[in-house]
Amino acid sequence: MRHHRHRPRVAHRSRAGLVAHLTALGALRCRDGPARGGRQTRQHRRSRRCAPVLQRRRRARDGRRWSQWRLRRRRARLRRRESRLLRSSRRARGPHPTSLVDVKAGTFGDDLEKELRSAHGITIGHWPQSVALATIGGSIACRGAGQYSTRYGKIEDMVAGLEVVLADGTVVRTGQLAAFGAGPRSAMGPDLTSMFVGSEGTLGVITSARLRGHPVAPEERRAAWAFPSFADGLEALRRTLQRGATPAVVRLYDATESKRSFDGLDTNLLIALDEGDGFIVEAAMAVLSEECATAEPLDVSLVEHWFNHRNDMSALELVIRAGIVVDTIEIAAAWDVLPAIYESALAALAQTPGIIAASAHQSHAYLEGACLYFTFAGQGPDPSDDAWAEDFYRRSWQAVLGATSIKGGSISHHHGIGLVRGQYLPDALGAGFEVLQKLKDALDPRAS
Ligand SMILES: Cc1cc2nc3c(=O)[nH]c(=O)nc-3n(C[C@H](O)[C@H](O)[C@H](O)COP(=O)(O)OP(=O)(O)OC[C@H]3O[C@@H](n4cnc5c(N)ncnc54)[C@H](O)[C@@H]3O)c2cc1C
């Protein structure tokens, strides 16, 4: 009983006090085991009764220390994590943290590139000839292509997500702009982004886009070759692309275009330019050079010439002002039918009454085929005769699109459909055209 009366007093807060108290009770001896000789003394028995108290106190003390220590360690860990996050968020303001860029649809292409390059060290790589005239929304709406498309892709390869306003005012966010769309790819049903890319304003108004960015290229290489025929040049490009090399710019001009655009150069000219990581550029250009081994190497200043004049449309404007009807038509087809389309489209254009020039170049290349870009010009007896001009215009388009369709090619590569090609679309898409029509009816019923 005496002991029990002592128990509350054991609750010393300080270790020294506790030691003194327990020493008086003999508890410390008890900790050392029975008294010498193995006999349990009265003190020992008493201290044995005291031991659980000591242990509980020690455990409590140790527990308190343990949890305080854990708390301190946890706080330190949190502080370290915070500073790590802070450091990485500082880094996130650097060149290309996520490779994604959000842009309003009305932004002009050149303004976007200027801002991205100077302030963030990144590029989208979309350089259409109309880069200073076309908006990002317009490029997406028409499924455009830039001059560096063989490295960076066409606009549909660059768009990671869209914000679109539908006819009834609903705002739709697709792809990586969707609520749970932050992954680089997804399998959450059909790709709604693709549905709006190329819709030319018929399904909704694109208000902003999330685009894929790349670090500004540290390396660039250029080369040029002359081919005996346009088909030979196409064949070298096919082999290059199918070996996996994708130099940013590969443009093959037929002899007519080479003469016109490269100071009378009478050959089928291939110019190439690649940019990006040094190893990749080196490899891509090495593959291309190997595939062009039988062609005649030309001075790389030809690439410089192209680069400096690539967006200059002043010559075309002069021609139009002179009353000449002129336009360009771009199509795409598989490698094996491209030479035939080239030949038959030019032959059909040559038969068109009033034609004065027809030519083509290849400008965007892929694993399975490429884009051919035709230019035609014609003049009637009376430059003020609009009916003649329109008839010539439609016949010329028919010449190229007819030659393309018959070989199963695509009647547009990057300018979209618009009004002139509209009449060819039902045949080109087959039952798919009905699907598009139903989509249009569903999203914009009042337009039907
Ligand atoms: C000299 C010249 C060179 C060109 N070179 C190239 C080239 O190299 N590569 C290439 O791809 N194209 C080229 N083009 C074609 C043209 O620049 C593109 O089709 C361009 O993408 C159109 O953009 P825009 O802003 O001018 O659109 P607009 O001409 O104003 O509109 C074109 C179509 O897109 C729709 N549209 C526009 N903005 C939106 C939006 N925000 N939401 C929904 N629909 C919209 C319009 O309704 C319309 O049907 C060239 C054109 C010219 C005149």
Spatial distance between the Cα atoms of 148 and 133, rounded to a whole number of angstroms? 17
CA distances from 305 to 191, 260, 261, 302, 311 (A): 41, 13, 9, 5, 12
What's the pLDDT at 53?
A: 58
Q: Do 19 and 107 have their domain in common?
A: no
Structure tokens at 386: 């609009």
Spatial distance between the Cα atoms of 83 and 89, rounded to a whole number of angstroms? 10
429 within domain boundaries: no
What total of structural domains would you count in the chain? 4
Q: Using an 8 Å Cβ cutoff, are 323 and 282 in contact?
A: no
Count CA atoms closer than 13 A to 221's CA, side-chain side.
Answer: 18
Q: Which of 107, 133, 203, 363 to mutate to test the pocket of ligand 1 (most atoms within 8 A of CB)?
A: 133
41 within domain boundaries: no
Spatial distance between the Cα atoms of 349 and 342, rounded to a whole number of angstroms? 11
Does the CB atom of residue 202 touch ligand 1 within 6 A? no
Q: Do 266 and 197 have their domain in common?
A: no
User: Domain boundary at 308, 325, 340, which?
Assistant: 308
273 within domain boundaries: yes
What is the CATH classification number for the domain harbouring 359? 3.30.300.330
Structure tokens at 408: 């199963």
Residue nearest to atom 10 of ligand 1 (CA): 144
442 within domain boundaries: no
436 within domain boundaries: no
Q: Do 293 and 235 have their domain in common?
A: yes
Q: Which of 103, 110, 129, 130 to mutate to test the pocket of ligand 1 (most atoms within 8 A of CB)?
A: 130
What's the pLDDT at 65?
A: 76
Which amino acid makes up residue 407?
K
93 within domain boundaries: no
Q: Do 168 and 237 have their domain in common?
A: no
User: Domain boundary at 291, 308, 325, which?
Assistant: 308
The pLDDT tens digits along the chain (448 residues) read 333 333 333 333 444 443 333 333 333 333 333 333 344 444 554 455 556 556 666 766 777 777 777 778 877 776 666 555 444 333 333 344 568 999 999 999 999 999 999 999 999 999 999 999 999 999 999 999 999 999 999 999 999 999 999 999 999 999 999 999 889 999 999 999 999 999 999 999 999 999 999 999 999 999 999 999 999 999 999 999 999 999 999 999 999 999 999 999 999 999 999 999 999 999 999 999 999 999 999 999 999 999 999 999 998 889 999 999 999 999 999 999 999 999 999 999 999 999 999 999 999 999 999 999 999 999 999 989 999 999 999 999 999 999 999 999 999 999 999 999 999 999 999 999 999 999 999 999 999 7
Token pair 């007519």 is found at: 256
Q: Do 62 and 159 have their domain in common?
A: no
Q: Which atom in ligand 1 lies closest to the alpha carbon of residue 204?
A: 43
**400-415 b/e (C-beta count within 10 Å ≥ 16 → b):** bbebbbebebebbbbb
**CB count in 10 Å sphere of residue 312:** 10
Q: Do 110 and 71 have their domain in common?
A: no
Provide the domain limits for residue 163: 100-178+191-215
Distance 418 CA to ligand 1 centre (A): 10
Spatial distance between the Cα atoms of 297 and 107, rounded to a whole number of angstroms? 40
Q: Which atom in ligand 1 lies closest to the alpha carbon of residue 143?
A: 11
Distance 132 CA to ligand 1 centre (A): 11
Q: Do 347 and 407 have their domain in common?
A: yes
User: Domain boundary at 255, 286, 308, which?
Assistant: 308
What is the CATH classification number for the domain harbouring 298? 3.30.70.3450
Q: Do 157 and 253 have their domain in common?
A: no
Q: Do 105 and 203 have their domain in common?
A: yes
Spatial distance between the Cα atoms of 209 and 207, rounded to a whole number of angstroms? 7
What's the pLDDT at 30?
A: 32
Q: Do 263 and 339 have their domain in common?
A: no
What's the pLDDT at 403?
A: 98
244 within domain boundaries: yes
Q: Do 324 and 409 have their domain in common?
A: yes
Spatial distance between the Cα atoms of 439 and 196, rounded to a whole number of angstroms? 11
39 within domain boundaries: no
